A = this chain, B = another copy of it.
């Protein structure tokens, strides 16, 4: 199981250049929502000078700044890439910003499909400046094919599912977990995506797993969570009707074998986002 380094121990500048918004920069929004004491600035020249809460309704007191140089005034120790572009590749224009961040000795946290730690140039630069490149989406090695073992765990397993991407599956999972804990239940959130992993500190980004092993990764997450907890809230991904990601969703369902599901839907949405079929 991948235990990630902990963003909770860092001062985070979030890179959301040109795309800061409640849905456009989901990673940025999640970090502001769940790690508000750690986020010191959001970088987006289009909104520079405003307060984060003016744009995404949360994060009051966190400034939006022009560039990394301005963000450095707030003494960050980490740069988080706040956007997940379709395809998950590093936008070319951001390489210079990453170079600058590494030269400023910031660790870099990324949820991109393209792994920064495997980019020879960035990896060498990071090593020479003694900073880490954290790829939250990088799956562990040697994942198994699923074997239905998740059906045998003593814990009660709840999976959040939904009608589309970005309808609140992760947020519902975190909020239900927190509420269950407040009520005295031994609940654990089981992240299956890069944003949940960044916030919660463990998990596997199952959309980055080779498809033969995706259900096996979901099974591993449940087995790991069930070893220490009696109630698991597993973060859902995609949707069974999503043209691009349905296979990820079905793998997660068959790998985690939940006892119950929480269905998330945005009532105002009448098509799958970005698709017109």
Contact = CB atoms under 8 A, between A and B. Distances in A.
Contacts of A69: none
Interface stretch (A3-11, A44-52, A208-216): A208-216
A270 B277 CA distance: 37
Interface string A214-258: 111000000000000000000000001011111111111011000
B211 A214 contact: yes
B216 A212 contact: no
Contact of A216 (B144, B146, B215, B244): B244
Contact of A243 (B87, B113, B215, B243): B215
A267 interface: no
Contact of A277 (B148, B207, B214, B251): B148
Q: Interface residues of A toward B: which range?
A: 35 or more
A61 interface: no
A113 B144 CA distance: 12
Interface string A128-147: 00000000000000001111
A32 interface: no
Contacts of A277: 148, 151
Contact of A215 (B147, B206, B246): B246
Given A216-B244, A244-B216, A251 B148 contact: no
Given A87-B145, A145-B86, A210 B243 contact: no
Nearest to A143: B87
Which residue of A206, A210, A244, A246 has the most chain B CB atoms within 10 A of its CB atom? A244
Given A148-B275, A210-B210, A211-B211, 12 more contacts: A87-B144, A87-B145, A147-B244, A148-B277, A207-B210, A214-B247, A242-B254, A246-B254, A247-B248, A247-B249, A247-B251, A250-B250
23 contacts: A113-B210, A145-B245, A146-B243, A146-B244, A147-B244, A148-B243, A148-B277, A151-B277, A207-B210, A207-B212, A209-B211, A211-B211, A211-B251, A215-B244, A215-B245, A242-B254, A243-B255, A244-B254, A246-B254, A247-B249, A247-B250, A247-B254, A248-B251
Interface of A: 86-88, 113, 144-148, 151, 206-212, 214-216, 240, 242-252, 254-255, 275, 277
